[in-house]
Amino acid sequence: MENEAGFADQARTISPRSYLGRMAAREEAARQRKEVEEAAHIAAMDAIDPKWGYCYFMGGDEGPIKIGYSTQLAQRLSCIRNQNGLLRIRLLAKLTGGRERESYYHHKFKEHRFSGEWFERHPDILAEIDRLNTPSTLARRVGRG
């Protein structure tokens, strides 16, 4: 049967498989866009002058990990040790980016927040610390002094 325009009337149907395939492709494209945006954001943080401070991960061999930022890491470490009586706390990783990088990590690991700037010793956080301490990552980081 034809309609007034002379076209055959056909019920437009989309198979569930076709629909799911298109949805999966859209989700994959969105994931890839997010990865590209995150990489650009990280590159921008890498370019931040160290005078604006370092983002750091501090902790002991067990227990929570502090993610913070400071322009004077040695003094900050000493202060944290004295405040908490945590003489065995040490610097686990540092990188440029100051407050912006600190905010990035706080958001990234928000589901592992213990209290304030202290986070559970979660495998995701430990993996990031390990990644930051690999030779290839260390070579790319700015102002490691």
Would you write out the chain's pLDDT as a tens digit for each of its 145 residues?
A: 555 655 555 556 667 778 888 888 899 999 999 999 888 888 888 888 888 899 999 998 889 999 999 999 989 988 888 876 656 889 999 999 899 999 999 999 999 999 999 999 999 999 999 999 987 666 555 444 4
Domain spans of the chain? 13-46, 50-140
Structure tokens that stand for 42 in this block = 């990280």
Which CATH code for domain 50-140? 3.40.1440
pLDDT number for residue 106: 97
pLDDT number for residue 80: 85
| Closest among 57, 77, 42 to 120, alpha carbons compared | 57
Using CA atoms, how far apart are residues 122 and 21, in angstroms rounded to an integer? Answer: 35
Q: How many residues does the chain have?
A: 145
pLDDT number for residue 15: 73
pLDDT number for residue 59: 92
Using CA atoms, how far apart are residues 41 and 82, in angstroms rounded to an integer? Answer: 35
The secondary structure of 85-110 as a DSSP string is T-TT-EEEEEEE-HHHHHHHHHHHTG
